[in-house]
Structure 1
Amino acid sequence: MGASGLRVSRLGLGTLSWGRGTDGDEAAAQLSAFVDAGGTLVDTSPAYGDGVAQRILAELLDDVVPRDQLVVSGSSGIDTSKVGAGRVDCSRAGLLTQLDRTLRELGTDHLDLWQVATWDPRTPVDEVAAALEFAVTSGRARYVGVRGYLGWQLATAAAVATRHAPLVATQVEYSLLARGVEEELIPAALHHGVGVFAAVPLAGGVLTGKYRDGIPADSRGADDVHTEEVRSYLTEPAARVVEAVATAADGLGTSPLAVALAWVRDRPAVASTVVGARDLAQLTGVLVAEELELPAAIAAALDDVSA
């Protein structure tokens, strides 16, 4: 993970859909399959499903998979019980209160990785750094990082982070259809030794090719919660990228999902790709796809068409 000693699996299991489209039994099956395939990184947050995802994970730790086999990544800073500007609170009090609540709920004494959920313009960056240091020195977190920061925000935070709690991770949306982070965020991460978690690596499923002929009734695009997110990718330039991914997949005898996932997984600074799945069948496809090693010539062609 960046310049740190933290080690994570190249594929991370996201829990955003747990408690919404994925119930507890299905989540248990996913977690078991993920760990059996060698996965370690599990990403959660009190903001996922208004806390439901975190509560489901709490029921699975040790009962389904031993806690010490996982690298549990969580975050603080967004309170979904509040509305408006009050939802974001990355003050020392706000961050640590939510962290302690997360630890109690998960039934664990620490998070392997604790991340600040978003940039908070109302909280001094030094105060955030102090909260991260306290979490590490008090044993509540092994490593710390941030989520959704812009390049200058990451550089600012990394520069003031203390030697006891350096930033080791940043989690951002990154895919063949979302490459804006390459302009400033990725260079900042490389310069400061911060590893990148690539979130939404399949662009809401668009890069799998499932939307090439419309929006399937059982897809995320037809779901009121995700329809806006998915439709934002359904543009003419995006369609050209999706066709290129499909062509590459045909030539390699694999799936578009595998090609899109391998491309982002192998980008500079990326330590892991965080993928969520609605059910075990979807996750199985992702686990199989992760084994693909993308030829350099195809990766370069995809670079060109998606630039």
Structure 2
Amino acid sequence: METRRVGSSGLRTSRLGLGTLTWARDTTDEQARGTLQTFLEADGTLIDTAAAYGAGDAERLLGRLVGELARREDVVIATKAGFAVRDGKRVVDTSRRALLRDLAGSLERLGTDYVDLWQIHAWGEAPIEETLSAMDHAVRQGMTRYVGVSNFVGWQTAQAATWQKAVPGRAPLTSLQVEYSLLARRAEMELLPAAAAFGLGVFPWSPLGRGVLTGQYRSRIPKGSRAASDHFAWFVQPYLEQRSKGVVEAVALAAEGLDLTPLQVALLWVRDAPGVTAPLLGARTAGQLAAALATEELTLPAEIVSALDDVSGGPHLLRG
């Protein structure tokens, strides 16, 4: 698999990443093993997780499987801190104490002395300088090699990046993670320009529109899908509304004409969008992942890219 440089940093990753949101919950240990094995065999390197995924169980499973299937130095492990679900409620705590506690727990669960990329999971109430001081400490102590942010909006990203650049010796931001797909193009307004201005890599999550762009929901909600589950239905529902159907049908039509699957068309549009480093794939099985990996030698014709731009929100301002 082709690799890409993460922004202006020295870090390089595969141009597709493997997400672990569902590991140890909707994805069984054996499914995770098969998915990771398939990803590694395709020379994939970037694996994204978080302290909050499965209340830490996703990290435990990932640490065990990496120990069995790969050499630590051959993978790029990215994790996140500052977010948790407690008593059914989402809690964001980006204080220095909470962040460093989360990172120490992540290292223990992953069975490693360091992570390659440590990200703040969300903007919190703690002063941004306190949050970023935790990142500086983690880099100095060798707990992480690079740092980034996740789910920040444009001005938050710019403020954090500027703060880190203001004084020599601070750990510069390397990347940002954001939802980005044909059904979620808000990142083009401020986040992608901010990433370009500050030399940040971009890791889109849900590049397949929370699964809707695969076309599996065109006629019904399949049994066993995320939209049919108690804990993920809320996540998918916003993209099952009428305004999304035209985009889904356009992707399906393009896929038919190109002899590809809708998944592949939607993924290629994101993977090769300006500024993108690596979309994060939430495949639950090796079979689901295989279709995405089959895009390695493919690109979309410029005419199709333009048509998908138009139907999903208009011309991409950073494209060419």
Runs of 4+ displaced beyond 6 Å:
none
In the alignment, what sits opposite 1:219?
225
1:42 corresponds to 2:50:
no
SS at match of 1:142: strand
The answer to whether residue 57 in structure 2 is matched with residue 52 in structure 1 is: yes
Counterparts of 1:81 and 1:59, CA distance in 2? 25
Where does residue 271 of structure 2 map in the other structure? 265
Distance, in Å, in 2 between the alignment partners of 1:25 and 1:254 is: 28
Aligned residue runs from structure 1 range 147-296, under 5 A: 147-162=150-165, 163=168, 164-296=170-302
Residue 19 of structure 1: aligned partner? 24
The aligned runs of 1:27-106 (5 Å cut-off) are: 27-81=32-86, 87-106=91-110
Name whichever of 96-105 and 170-179 sits farther off. 96-105
Whether the 8 Å CA contact 1:41–1:72 is kept in 2: the answer is yes
State the partner residue of 2:113. 109
Moved more, 146-155 or 290-299: 290-299
State the Cα deviation string for residues 214-241 of structure 1 (Å, max 9, x = none): 1112221111111122221012221111
CA distance in 1 between partners of 2:266 and 2:296 (Å)? 10
Q: In structure 1, how many angstroms separate the alpha carbons of the residues matched to 2:89 and 2:260? A: 45
| Deviation by residue 1:236-272 (Cα, 9 ceiling, x = unmatched) | 2211111111111111111110000000111121100
- 1:57-116, Cα deviation, whole Å (9 max, x unpaired): 12112212221110000011013346657x211111111111011111111110000001
In the alignment, structure 2 segments of 5+ residues that lack a partner are 1-5, 314-320
- Please give the root-mean-square deviation of Cα atoms over the aligned residues, in Å: 1.4
CA–CA separation in structure 2 for the residues paired with 1:291 and 1:82: 46
Judged with a 3 Å threshold, the aligned counterparts in structure 2 of structure 1 residues 83 and 161 are, in CA distance, closer, same or farther, namely farther
Query: Given that residues 56 and 109 in structure 2 are in contact (C-alpha distance below 8 angstroms), is that contact kept between their aligned partners in structure 1?
Result: no
Identity of paired residues, percent?
49
The one-letter code sitting in structure 1 at the alignment partner of 2:9 is: S
Q: Which moved more, 1:213-222 or 1:248-257?
A: 213-222
> Deviation of residue 165 (structure 1)?
0.9
Q: Which runs of 5+ in 1 are unaligned?
A: none
In the other structure, the counterpart of 2:3 is none
1:33-52 Cα distance to aligned partner (Å, 9 max, x none): 10110100000111111111
What TM-score do you get using the length of structure 2 for normalisation?
A: 0.92
Match of 2:134 among 131, 134, 144: 131
Q: Distance in 1 between matches of 2:290 and 2:49?
A: 20
2:12 counterpart residue number: 7
* CA distance in structure 2 between the aligned counterparts of 1:263 and 1:135, rounded to whole angstroms: 35
Cα 1:117–1:96 shift into 2, 3 Å: same
